[in-house]
Amino acid sequence: MGAAASGMTGKQDPQVRISDRFWDSYRELVRKTVIPYQWEALNDRIPDAEPSYAIRNFRITAGMEQGEYGGMVFQDSDVAKWLEAVGYSLAQHPDSELERTADEVIELIAAAQKEDGYLNTYFSIKEPGNRWTNLHEAHELYCAGHMMEAAVAYYEATGKRRLLDVVCKFADYIDQVFGTEPGKLRGYDGHQEIELALVKLYKATGEERYLALAQFFIDERGAEPNFLVEECKQRDGFSHWANKKIAIPTVAQMAYNQADKPVREQDTATGHSVRAVYMYTAMADLARLTGDASLLEACRRLWANTTKKQMYITGGIGSTHHGEAFTFDYDLPNDTVYAETCASIGLIFFAQRMLQLEAKSDYADVMERALYNNVIGSMSQDGKHYFYVNPLEVWPKASKLNPARHHVKAVRQKWFGCSCCPPNVARLLSSLNEYIYTASAERNTIYTNLFIGSEASFELAAGRVGLKQESHLPWEGYVRMEVTESPKAELALAFRIPSWSYGEAEMIIGGQAAKYEVVDGYAIVTRAWSEGDVAEWKPRLEAQLIAANPAIRANAGKAAIERGPLVYCLEEADNGDLLSSLTIQADTKLHSSYDPGLMGGAVVIEAEGCVDNMASWQPDLPYRPLAQQQVQEASSVTLRAVPYYLWGNRKTGEMTVWIRTSGL
Binding residues for its own copies, rule: CB under 8 A, are 304, 307-309, 311, 313, 319-323, 327-328, 331, 333, 335-336, 395, 397-398, 401-404, 502, 544-553, 556-557, 559-560, 578, 580-581, 583, 586-587, 612, 614, 617, 619-630, 634, 660-662, 664
Distances (CA, A) of 472 to 61, 477, 520, 536, 564: 49, 6, 24, 11, 11
CA angle at 281 for the pair 429 and 287, rounded to the nearest 5°: 135
CB 353 within 8 A of CB 360: no
Distances (CA, A) of 606 to 191, 440, 589, 609, 657: 44, 43, 8, 9, 14
**Residue with Cβ nearer its own copies (120 or 399):** 399
Report in angstroms how near the CB of residue 641 gets to its own copies at its nearest.
Answer: 14
Residue 443: helix, strand or coil by DSSP? coil
**b/e code 600-630 from CB counts within 10 Å (16+ = b):** eebbbbbbbbbbbeeeeeeeeeeeeeeeeee
Q: Which residues contact 427 (CB under 8 A, 6 or more apart)?
A: 81, 84, 85, 88, 149, 153
**Residue with Cβ nearer its own copies (450 or 584):** 584
Q: Which of 143, 168, 299, 420 is catalytic?
A: 420
Q: What's the rounded Cα separation, in Å, for the pair 150 and 156?
A: 10
E strands of 319-398, at which residues?
Answer: 393-394
Measured from the Cβ of residue 551, the count of other Cβ atoms closer than 10 Å reads 12
**Residue with Cβ nearer its own copies (573 or 634):** 634
State yes or no: is 569 an active-site residue. no
State yes or no: is 324 an active-site residue. yes
Q: Which of 324, 358, 562, 572 is catalytic?
A: 324
Torsions phi, psi for 657 (to 5 deg): -90, -45
Torsions phi, psi for 170 (to 5 deg): -65, -45
Comparing C-alpha atoms, which of 366, 192, 191, 355 is closest to residue 282?
192
Beta-bridged to residue 569, according to DSSP, are 642
CB 221 within 8 A of CB 263: yes
Report in angstroms how near the CB of residue 331 gets to its own copies at its nearest.
Answer: 6
Strand pairing class (479-485; 534-539): antiparallel
CB 580 within 8 A of CB 634: no
Measured from the Cβ of residue 62, the count of other Cβ atoms closer than 10 Å reads 17
Measured from the Cβ of residue 98, the count of other Cβ atoms closer than 10 Å reads 17
**Residue with Cβ nearer its own copies (250 or 402):** 402
Comparing C-alpha atoms, which of 345, 492, 497 is closest to residue 423?
345
Of how many residues is the chain composed? 664
Q: Which residues contact 525 (CB under 8 A, 6 or more apart)?
A: 492, 493, 507, 509, 514, 515, 516, 517, 535
Q: What's the rounded Cα separation, in Å, for the pair 518 and 494?
A: 9
Report in angstroms how near the CB of residue 439 gets to its own copies at its nearest.
Answer: 29
Residue 2: helix, strand or coil by DSSP? coil
Over 554-603, what HEC string results?
Answer: HHCCEEEEEECCEEEEEEHHHHCCCHHHEEEECCCCEEEEEECCCCCCEE
Distances (CA, A) of 447 to 356, 358, 435, 450, 566: 10, 11, 11, 9, 22
Measured from the Cβ of residue 231, the count of other Cβ atoms closer than 10 Å reads 19
Beta-bridged to residue 36, according to DSSP, are none
- Known catalytic residues? 324, 420
